[in-house]
Chains A and B, each alone.
Chain A
Amino acid sequence: MNDLRPLVLVADDDPDILALVRFRLERDGYEVLSAPDGETALDLAMARTPDLAVLDVMMPRLDGYEVTRKLREHGPTTTIPIILLTARVQEPDLERGFEAGADDYVTKPFSPQALGERVQAALGL
């Protein structure tokens, strides 16, 4: 594939939010990989090496923190920007996210447009 659009991995267990984010980001000109849970997200990341990952924290099987930690463990994903989506805005939760290796977070509910801006900023575009 010679698609030059940045590849963004989005993972959320809520299909509506997943579709919302995907819609926004695709409109913003990204290629989007969407995953309904943490495990799929991890598999996709390993398979495709996205340029950036937007991960919901509260996901079944593997939560966002866990996926972040695994992405940071080895391979090309150790350096990609990771943005967490979270309904938890309390300090310990945020710290946990940064400790796992996330670069930024966006609290729910978020404005799709604002998310797009964060992604753009993280990619340094």
Chain B
Amino acid sequence: MTPSASTSGRPPRLVLRFAVYSAIALALAWVVIFWVVRREAEERAQHQVEVRTSEVAERVDPSLTPQDFAGPVTTERRQELDAAFDPELVGTLLRFKLVNADGVVTYSTDPEIIGGRSDSRESLEKALAGESDQHVTTLNAEGGNRENVKAVESYIPVYLGESEEPTGVFEAYVAYEPVAAEVRETVTPIAIAMALALVLLYAALFPILRQVTRALDNRHRRLEEHAAALSQALDERRRAEVRLTQAERNYRSLVEQLPLVMYITHLDETSSFIYMSPQIEELTGYTALECMSDPAFLVKMLHPDDRERTLEERRRAAGTGESYATKYRIIGKDKREVWIHDEVTIAKDESGRPIHAQGFMVDVTPQVTTRHEIERSNAELTALHETALALIDELDAEKLLGRIAGQAGELVGTPDTYVYLRDGDELRVAFGTGVFAGNVGHRLKKGEGLGGRVWETGEPLTVEDYQEWEGRKTVYDGMAIHGVAGVPLRSRTEVVGVLGIAYGEPGRGFDSADIALLSRFAHLASLALESARLYTSAKEELAERRRAESAVREAELRYRTLVEHLPLVTYISPVDKTVGNLYVSPQVEELLGYPTEEWVKNPNLLSEAVHPDDLQRVLADAERLRESGDPLRSEYRYITADGRTVWVLDETILVRDDEGTPLWVQGFILDITERRAAEETRARLAAIIESSTDAIMSGSLDLTYTSWNQGAERMFGYTAEEVIGKPITLLMPEDQQAEALEIVDQVVHQDRVVQLETVRHREDGGEVHVAFTYSPIRDSSGKTVGISAIGQDVTERKRAEAAIRESEAKFRAFVETTEEWVWASDADNTHTYSNPAVERILGIKPEELIGRNWLDFVVEEDREQIVEAIAERTDDTVGWSGLVMRWRHADGSIRHLESNAIPVLGPDGEVVGWQGTDRDVTHRIQAERDRERLLAVEQEARAFAEAAQHDLAAQNERLRELDRLKDEFIALVSHELRTPLTSIRGYTELLLDGEAGKLTGDQRQFLGVVERNAHRLLHLVGDLLFLAQVEAGKLVLDIGALDLGNVASESVETARPQAEAKNITLTLATGPVPLIAGDRARISQLLDNLVSNAIKFTPEGGRVDVRVRALKQRAVLEVRDSGMGIPAGEQEFLFQRFFRTSTATEQAIQGTGLGLAISKAIVEAHAGRISVTSEEGEGTTFQVTLPLHSPAEIPETTKVAS
């Protein structure tokens, strides 16, 4: 790095600096020397002055008197004193003077200053205290004619007589300069010498310094380079810092302009503020600095009620790191409560560890207070409402006041309340609760105490602390009341009392809301009091009147009794319609359900009770009455308290006094509901009658028509005018008149309603079929006064009925003769019709069925199911077909009936019944049942067979497994047997070969037995092993071309000795047989077996014939013996392993029962067949057939695994 720009700002070289420092050191040395000289000079001068002054003083002393210090000396005395001083001695002094204790110069060698004041007060006092003092000064300081001379001044105390205290002070001046010069003379050489020594020292040190400074210089340069680099780095850092600062400033200014308070706190116990934006001042009055300087500021600022909760929230958030929002109160500098909404976020470092909390506060005081206000005002309104309700009924003033005061206290939160009431020209405590309970009866004059003042001013008054209040009544001293408030109770405009409340604990005051609330209560109370007063006064007045108007009262009582027993409601209302009625007779309750009192108290009741449709009219009428005074008669409806509609007749008049001024309105209300109802009914009936299509008419008892409706007119062609007054026989055919009159007689005299279908004449001469209903007409006393007739034209119906009857007859004939059961039922399953077929089918007569629920005849356990099925079809209204039901025949047997039915639909499409036909299908069902049963049996049997088969297969599988295990065992055992047999045979052979020495005849014979048996055993083992191989499917054939005759010949020759031993003739007959494909060893084994078997089972002298020939494509091998034969029952087991014939066993013929099994296996392995034919006692023939192959097919040597 190059020491670039550093030349200009480079500090002076060290050498230069050193020179400067040296110069400064020299200068300092000179200064020191100068100072030493000066100081020494002053000290010496002072000493000289002291010495000389003391001398002068000593000289003068005896000649001095106290008088000389009393004040300025006289001229004579001065001259005396001048003379008294040694001129020589004095001459060394510039000035000499005497100064008294007051600082006044009483004498001086310089007469001009006598009477002046000594200049140094301090030194003078010191001298007066007994200590001499000196200091350097200028001589003209205290005036005089001397020029401005530097001098040393000396103060010596003067003791006159025996005095302990100095009487005065000698003051003398000595010229300074001569003394200083003397000193300089001695000191200066020393100083010069010292300076020279310093210069020399410097000169000696200079070269060394130069070297040192050079080294330092180099080092300095290097440092400079570093410094340059550093400064660059520093510059950058500074710039970065500047940027940061700028950024911070930006943020800060942003934060500080927000309309909320931002802050950052530590996560310590007190949440001390790290940063607080200045808006806090606006919010709380505390500056941001104040907040940040006190670590516990938040704690102090928090409202005591919110403190613990808020801090706990902060602690919890510091732990969890979760942000949250909260509300709390803080107390501002001006003790104001501020509600704060605070959103707190926990800031975390990169590792997620909380480092501090930050948040912002918003002033939500208005919202919170508004909410509180609303809550409070809700509570107040509720209370006011309740109170108001209570007041309406309460006329006892005392209770009323208690209720009001209690309620007011409860709302404001104090048990201490009272009520003053006017009592003449005083206020009396009428009611008190809490501490005021004992004050009842206390009295106050107007303007006295709190109550008195409220009375006087008519305004609410609050006192912050009654104990401190100048206007307090001494009689209440000692009561535990502090904040007290009172509001006036008014009757109209006049103050009639005071409602007050108090707080028992100091420090609680009333705010304007409390007063407002109290005032509202007072208003309520006033109203209540007013009513109570009215009530009371009314009571009093009434009593008064009673006394005064006893006579009138009696009359009135009578009148009232009369009025109240009239079947109507009488009333008196004030002309002022806003007030309730003055009087309403008690019948009103019976009529309208609202009690009399309510009519009197509630002016709105009328509007509520009158039918809404009539209300406008009624109000308009009332208005007109009040204005015009004309009597009013109107009919309108009331809705009674229990909701009925009542028609009334209301007749009202306006009562005036003699001068015509309206006094009140009076009238009566008559219940005309029944009349109206009757009128309406009549009107309705008339309308019905007129609009009816039926002919409706009536006649009087003299049998003339009295009414005739339009229906009658249409039906008979006569108009009402034409008929009324005419005899009722007018319409009757001649031949029916007698009958008709009889009916009339019945109706009238026997009081019966008669129905009749008959024929009447029309006006145009035609006939009409009419269904008449005749009934008597009665008057209100029940007496029959006439007869009414309602006639329906049934001409069409008659015609239709006739048609139906005809068609029905046809169908009936058909139905009643049909084989099927035809039936009908109604929707409730009640049988309504049945044709005679049912008797044939079920043995039940139709009449037994009709009228009964047909389900009763169905097999009981099916009923529920059938009902369900029918219900389903009822919903669909489609009926059913092919539904088979089981019925109980009269003889108890069950019949299967197949049913088809359709629903009979009513006018609205609903099912009103069923009709259908049933057929007996019992035989068919029975047949189906039988078939199904058979089928089931067959299936069962099949399933059983299948299961059995399955079991069998499983069992077979198990057997096969056992068989396989057995085969493995046999193979193993065979192997294990071969080894010992090897030894037996081997050693026997050695012995027989004479290897162990020559054998005797017996030895050789016995060894022969051993060898033979060993051979047998080996053979047996071989057979077993062979069979095991066959069974295991491991038989391996060594197939080659084979001459069967040759093999047979070998076998026969091998067996010959055996045959000869039994004297059996053994023959072999061989035909021309081609070569076969086979395993020579096996085929040979086969032949050996068969031939030796034949010999074994043939008795001595018999014969065995072996025959080999070709037959078609087969080689046939036969071995026939003349033996004992095999019983037929055993032949089939012959080729089974280990099977021995009963003969073999009985005759103890040796054998294992394996030979034939092996033979069969060998034959089958060669694709041949072996069979046996035998007859007991005759002999047995074994025949083997083997397939012949063309020579080309026979391989040279083939190994075939069977």
Contacts and interface: CB of A to CB of B under 8 A. Distances in A.
Contacts of B978: 87, 108-109
Interface stretch (A2-10, A20-28, A36-44, A68-76): A20-28
B990 interface: yes
Contacts of A88: 975
A110 B989 CA distance: 10
B983 A17 contact: yes
Interface in A1-59: 14, 16-17, 20, 23-24, 27
Contacts of A109: 978, 981-982, 984-986, 1014, 1018
A91 B1199 contact: yes
Contacts of B1036: 90-91
Interface string B962-993: 00000000000001001101111111011001
Most buried by B among A23, A91, A112: A112
A113 interface: yes
Most buried by B among A20, A88, A91, A108: A108
A111 interface: yes
A20 B979 contact: no
B936 to A, nearest CB: 57
Nearest to B1029: A90
A46 B985 CA distance: 32
Most buried by B among A16, A90, A109: A109
A54 to B, nearest CB: 13
Nearest to A20: B986
A20 B990 contact: yes
B334 interface: no
B1034 interface: yes
Contacts of B990: 20, 23-24, 112
Contacts of B975: 87-88
Contact of A90 (B979, B982, B1014, B1034): B1034
Interface string B1005-1028: 000000000100010000000000
A55 to B, nearest CB: 15
Nearest to B1017: A109
A108 B1199 contact: no
A108 B981 CA distance: 8
Contacts of B1132: none
Nearest to B1015: A109
A109 B986 CA distance: 8
Contact of B979 (A23, A24, A87, A113): A87
B349 interface: no
Nearest to B977: A87
B613 interface: no
Contacts of B986: 17, 20, 24, 109-112
A62 B1029 CA distance: 27
Contacts of B876: none
Contacts of B984: 109
B1016 to A, nearest CB: 13
Nearest to A110: B982
Contacts of B981: 108-109
A111 B990 CA distance: 9
A109 B978 CA distance: 6
B995 interface: yes
A24 B990 CA distance: 8
Nearest to A13: B979
Interface in B151-206: none
A11 B984 CA distance: 19
A16 to B, nearest CB: 4
A22 to B, nearest CB: 11
B1036 to A, nearest CB: 5
A107 to B, nearest CB: 8
A14 B985 contact: no
Contacts of B979: 14, 17, 87, 108
Contact of B989 (A16, A91, A111): A111
A113 B989 contact: yes
A24 B993 CA distance: 11
Contacts of A87: 975, 978-979
Contact of A20 (B983, B1018, B1199): B983
Interface string B1029-1058: 100001010000000000000000000000
A20 B1177 CA distance: 50
A16 B980 CA distance: 9
B158 to A, nearest CB: 149
Contacts of A112: 986, 989-990
A34 to B, nearest CB: 15
A113 to B, nearest CB: 7
A111 B982 CA distance: 8
Most buried by A among B982, B1014, B1199: B982
B908 to A, nearest CB: 97
Most buried by A among B979, B995, B1029: B979
A23 B978 CA distance: 20
A61 B106 CA distance: 155
A23 B982 contact: no
Nearest to B985: A109
A81 B989 CA distance: 26
Interface string B499-516: 000000000000000000
Nearest to B987: A20
Contacts of B989: 111-113
A108 B995 contact: no
Interface in B509-559: none
A59 to B, nearest CB: 12
Nearest to A23: B990
Contact of A27 (B985, B995, B1014, B1029): B995
A27 B981 CA distance: 22
B306 to A, nearest CB: 96
A91 B1014 CA distance: 25
Contacts of B987: 16, 20
A88 B995 CA distance: 29
Contacts of A17: 979, 982-983, 986
B695 to A, nearest CB: 125
A10 to B, nearest CB: 13
Contacts of B1199: 91
A88 B1028 CA distance: 13
Nearest to A88: B975
A113 B1199 CA distance: 30
A60 to B, nearest CB: 13
A65 to B, nearest CB: 16
A108 B993 contact: no
A20 B975 CA distance: 19
Contacts of B1018: 109
Nearest to A114: B989
A38 to B, nearest CB: 16
Contact of A108 (B982, B1029, B1034): B982
Nearest to B996: A23
Contacts of A108: 978-979, 981-982
A17 B985 CA distance: 10
B996 to A, nearest CB: 9
B998 to A, nearest CB: 16
* Closest 9 pairs between A and B when the two form their complex, measured CB to CB: A109-B982, A87-B978, A16-B983, A20-B986, A108-B982, A109-B981, A108-B978, A91-B1036, A112-B986
Interface of B: 975, 978-979, 981-987, 989-990, 993, 995, 1014, 1018, 1029, 1034, 1036, 1199
Interface of A: 14, 16-17, 20, 23-24, 27, 87-88, 90-91, 108-113
Given A108-B981, A109-B986, A113-B989, 19 more contacts: A14-B982, A17-B979, A17-B983, A20-B990, A27-B995, A87-B975, A87-B979, A90-B1036, A91-B1036, A91-B1199, A108-B979, A109-B978, A109-B984, A109-B1018, A111-B985, A111-B986, A112-B986, A112-B990, A113-B993
21 contacts: A14-B982, A16-B983, A17-B982, A17-B983, A17-B986, A20-B982, A20-B983, A20-B986, A20-B987, A24-B990, A87-B979, A88-B975, A90-B1029, A90-B1034, A108-B982, A109-B981, A109-B986, A111-B986, A111-B989, A112-B986, A112-B989
